[in-house]
Structure 1
Amino acid sequence: MKHIGLDFGTANTSVSVLDGEELAVLPLERQSVSLPSTLFFDFEDGSTQIGQAAFDRYYFGDQGRFLRSFKSALGTRTIDHTIRIKHDTYQIRDIIRHYIGEVLSRAQAQLGTTIDSLVVGRPVNFIDDNPLADQQAEDTLRQIVSDLGVSNIEFQLEPIAAALNYGVTIVGEEVVLVIDIGAGTSDFSVVKFQAKGSADSVKSEVIANCGIHIGGNDFDKVIALERVMPLFGYRQRFKRRPELEAPRSYFLNASSWHQIDLLYDRKVLATLAELEPQMEQPDTFARFSQLIRSRQPHKVLTSVEQAKRKLGADDATQVEMPFVEDSVSLPLSVSQLNTHINELCIQIIATANQAIENAGLKKPDIDTVYLTGGSMGIRHLSQMVASEFEHSKIVEGDRSTAVARGLALDAKVKFG
C-alpha cells in the first residue's frame, strides 16, 4: 500500500509517498518537488495554469488573473469572497479546490493509481486565538479534498510531521523543539523521541504545540509597506486636511499576498480616482492607481520577496521594479531588513519559548532544535534562534520537503 501526504502550503505545495520502505517527494512540475501555490486564469485561451507556469504567464505579460497564497483565506471571511474572472465568478474556496485538484491529478498520474487515503498537513493555528474559526478552516479544507474524491482524510500538524521526518534519524533519546517557519504561519512542537537504532523502533511523544500567524508573507508585507509603498503615495496627506493620511487599507491590501484581489474592484478604482486630486502629490498617488489598474501588486511583492531572499547571503541588494514607470529600483540592506522584521522575529521567538513552557520544560531541557520551513532562510531570524537556544544542538532540515515527508510517514501510522 502506498501512503500519501499532502503539504498544501501558503507559498508552495508538495506531495509525498511512502511505498514500502521507500520515501519520496513527487516532482509536480518538471523536476521540482516544490510547486508554487499559484494559479493563473488566461484570458486569451481560457486555460488555467498552476505553479511556476502560472507565475511565468503573469509576470511576462499574458492577459489574465493571477492568484497566490489563497490558503491564508481558510478560516476567514475571505474564503467566501467572490472574484470575477472575465465572465465567471469564483469564491476563494473554488480557487483552492481547483489548485489542489490539479495537484492531486498530477500526483495520481505519477503513482498510477487514485488517491483514496491522504494525510493533509495543517498549521497549529489557521487562525490565532479563535478555535471556532480554526475548526472551520480545517472543515473547509477537509470538504474540498473530499469533493475531489478522497475518501479517507486525516490531518496532522505540520511541525509534528517535520518532527516525524527528523525522528527516523535519531538513535537514543532526544527532546526536540521543532521550529517550522512557513509563508503564512510559524509553528512549534516539543516532541520526545526514543529509538533503539532503527527507524521502526522510534517512539515519539508530543508534549506541546504552539503556533502564531506570522510567516514569510508578513516579512514581505512590512518591507513593501515601509520601503516601497511610499513611492505610491502611502502616508501621503490630503491637501485641505493635512492632518489626515490617504486611506491605509488600500496599501495594506496591496502589500498582502492574499488580499491583493480585494483591490481589483470597480468601486475601489473609482474611489482611488476620486482621491487622486485631493492628495498633496496627485502624481504619486496616481502611480498607485495605475499599479492597481494594471494588476501589478503581485509583481511588487515578488520583487520584495526576491530582495529579501538575496539578503540571506548578501549584505545589500536592490528591490528592482522594471515594470513601474521609470523602472524604479530601491536599495535594501541587511540592516534595514532586520529593522523592519525585528518585531515579528521577536514574536516568533516568544512563541517558541511558549511551546517549551507549555511542555512544562525549560530551555536547557531541549536537546535539539530542528529547523524547517522556507522562511528559516532569513538570516536575522536564524541568528536569533541560534542565540536563544545556544545550549541546544541546531539541526537544519530540508526547508521544502521535511513536512511532506513526515506526512507520508504519518499516513502509514494512520492507515496501516
Structure 2
Amino acid sequence: MSQLPRACGVDFGTSNSTVGWLRPGVPALILLEDGRQTLPSAVFFNADENSVSFGRAAMAEYLEGYEGRLMRALKSLLGTSLIDGHTEVLGRPLGFRELLANFIAELKRRAEREAGRGFEMAVFGRPVHFIDDDPVADRRAQDTLEAIARQVGFREVSFQFEPIGAALHYESSLSREELVLIADIGGGTADFSIVRLSPERMRHDDRRADVLGNAGIHIGGTDFDRMLSLECVMPLFGYRTRMRNGAEVPSSIYFQLAAWHTINFAYTRQVWADLQHLYRDATAREALDRLCHLVSQREGHWLALQVEQAKVELSAERATRMTLDRIADGLVLDVTREAFAAATQGLVERVGACVAGLLQDVDVARARIDTIYFTGGASGVPQLRDRIAAELPDTRVVEGDLYGSIGTGLAVEAARRYG
C-alpha cells in the first residue's frame, strides 16, 4: 500500500461526484455508495430523524416523505453571490459554504474508508469556466473550492480542466496518435478541448503543448431540465397564463421551481402571500390550484426529479409520459422529443456556437480532427450531440464512460503530480 499513489482525483460534479485512485490492474474509481462509483451530489437534512444523508440515500429519504430539506446541484453555487449566503436547515441557519464542505468532507470520508487509507493530496476537476465572461468570479469560484477542500483535510490541492481529465482517460485506450475534440457536458457546464493524444505522449509529464485549445460555457444538464420544466411542465401550473387585467402571471416562482438550487426559495412566507394574492386575480384557477398544492406540500424537488427522469427518457425514446398524481389525481403529461428539442433549442445553439468558436480559434484544419469524444451525463441528449457533431460531420464519434471518464483521468493526473 505504501508504494501506491498518495493522492486522489476528485470530480465534484453538479449532478454526480467521483473519486479516483490509481492502482495497477484495478479500476481507478473508488466505490462510494452501494457498490457504485458515483455519489449523487445531494444532501438531505432529515427533520424527522434529526439526521443528514447523502447521495442516493438522500433522495430516497426525501421521496419516502420524510420532513426536511433536500439540496442538489451544490456546485452551481460556486462563483455566485449565493455562496456567501445561508439557508435555514433543521431550525438553524446553514451557510452555503458549510453545505459544500459537508458534502466534500463526506466524499473524502467514503473514499478513504473504501481505500483503507487517508488522502491528503488531491487534483480537483474544474470546468473551463465556472462563470462565463467573468474572470474575477471564475477565479473566486476556484479559490472557494480550494479553501473548502483544505478545510475538510486535503493538505495539497490543485486543479485540472475536466475535459483534460477525460482526455487522459481516453488516451489510455489508444494504439496510435489522434487529434481529439473532448466534449464534456455535465450537469452544470459544457467544456471542450482539442488535444493531441497518443500512447507515447501519455508518458510525458508536461502535456501543455498537446492542448491546442479549450473553451467552455455554463450550460449543462440542469439547464436542459430547467427549460424542459418551464416550456413543457410549468404551463400545467399556470406559467404564461393571464391575470384578469390581461397581464401575464408573474414568472419568478416558476423559474425558482425549475432550478434545483432555487426551489427552496419558493417556500418562503412572502412567496406564499404573493401566491394567494395572485390566485384571487388569476383566470386559470385550476392551474393555480396545482401551483398552490405544489408549494404548500413542498413537492418542488419531487417534480424536479420527474422532469430529470423525463429528460433521460427523451434522450432514449421519442416520447414519454409523466405521471404527476402527487399533484392531482390522474394528472399525466405526455412529452415528445420534438417538444424537448424545441424547449432547449436556444441552449443547443449556444453550445454549438461555443464549439464553432473553438474550432475557428485553433490553428488546425477541421479535417485533421480524428475523433469527437463525448463524456458527461448530458452529452447523451440527442439534439445536443447532433449539433456538436454537425461542426465536424466527417469525424468519428466515440462515447466514453459518461460518468467516470473525468474522475479516472484526474486519478492519473494526481499520480503524476504527487506520486
TM-score by length of 2: 0.94
State the alpha-carbon separation in 2 of the partners of residues 401 and 291 from structure 1: 35
Equivalent in the alignment of 2:100: 96
3-state SS in 2 of match to 1:183: coil
Instruction: Indicate yes or no: 2:67 matched with 1:63.
Output: yes
CA contact (8 A) 2:45 2:90 kept: no
* Larger displacement relative to structure 2 (50-59 or 339-348): 339-348
3-state SS in 2 of match to 1:19: coil
State the alpha-carbon separation in 2 of the partners of residues 207 and 327 from structure 1: 54
- Return the match for 2:55 from 51, 60, 64: 51
- Return the match for 1:299 from 295, 302, 307: 302
- The amino acid across from 1:120 in the alignment is F
CA contact (8 A) 2:190 2:351 kept: yes
Task: Give 1:202 deviation, angstroms.
Answer: 8.9
3-state SS in 1 of match to 2:21: strand
- Return the match for 2:241 from 216, 231, 236: 236
- Return the match for 1:195 from 189, 194, 199: 199
TM-superposition CA deviations, 1:141-186 (whole Å, max 9, x none): 1111110011000011100100111112223322111000111110
CA contact (8 A) 2:42 2:72 kept: yes
- Return the match for 2:220 from 196, 210, 215: 215
3-state SS in 2 of match to 1:114: coil
Equivalent in the alignment of 1:269: 272
Aligned length, in residue pairs: 413
Equivalent in the alignment of 1:414: 417
CA contact (8 A) 2:189 2:220 kept: yes
3-state SS in 2 of match to 1:356: helix
Instruction: Indicate yes or no: 2:316 matched with 1:316.
Output: no
Contiguous gaps of at least 5 residues in structure 1: none
Instruction: Indicate yes or no: 2:122 matched with 1:118.
Output: yes
CA contact (8 A) 1:8 1:14 kept: yes
Equivalent in the alignment of 1:383: 386
State the alpha-carbon separation in 1 of the partners of residues 397 and 206 from structure 2: 21
3-state SS in 1 of match to 2:402: coil
Query: Which is richer in strand?
Result: 1
Instruction: Indicate yes or no: 2:21 matched with 1:17.
Output: yes
Contiguous gaps of at least 5 residues in structure 2: none
Instruction: Indicate yes or no: 2:359 matched with 1:356.
Output: yes
CA contact (8 A) 1:72 1:258 kept: yes
State the alpha-carbon separation in 2 of the partners of residues 238 and 154 from structure 1: 53
State the alpha-carbon separation in 2 of the partners of residues 335 and 144 from structure 1: 42
Instruction: Indicate yes or no: 2:338 matched with 1:335.
Output: yes
State the alpha-carbon separation in 2 of the partners of residues 318 and 290 from structure 1: 21
State the alpha-carbon separation in 2 of the partners of residues 300 and 174 from structure 1: 43
TM-score by length of 1: 0.95
- Return the match for 1:84 from 69, 85, 88: 88
CA contact (8 A) 1:216 1:375 kept: yes
- The amino acid across from 1:302 in the alignment is L
CA contact (8 A) 2:84 2:97 kept: yes
Task: Give 1:20 deviation, angstroms.
Answer: 4.9
| CA shift in 2, pair 1:202/1:369, >3 Å | farther
Task: Give 1:388 deviation, angstroms.
Answer: 2.9
Equivalent in the alignment of 1:227: 232
Task: Give 1:398 deviation, angstroms.
Answer: 0.3
Task: Give 1:382 deviation, angstroms.
Answer: 2.3
* Larger displacement relative to structure 2 (308-317 or 128-137): 308-317
CA contact (8 A) 1:195 1:201 kept: no
Equivalent in the alignment of 1:166: 170
Equivalent in the alignment of 1:130: 134
3-state SS in 2 of match to 1:324: coil
- The amino acid across from 1:238 in the alignment is M
Equivalent in the alignment of 2:45: 41
State the alpha-carbon separation in 1 of the partners of residues 114 and 143 from structure 2: 28
Percent identity over the alignment is: 36
3-state SS in 2 of match to 1:176: strand
Task: Give 1:36 deviation, angstroms.
Answer: 0.8
Task: Give 1:369 deviation, angstroms.
Answer: 1.0
| CA shift in 2, pair 1:261/1:80, >3 Å | farther
TM-superposition CA deviations, 1:209-266 (whole Å, max 9, x none): 1000111111111111111111111112221x21x21211111111111211222222
CA contact (8 A) 2:355 2:388 kept: no
Instruction: Indicate yes or no: 2:153 matched with 1:149.
Output: yes
* Larger displacement relative to structure 2 (46-55 or 169-178): 169-178
TM-superposition CA deviations, 1:300-326 (whole Å, max 9, x none): 121111112112222111122121122
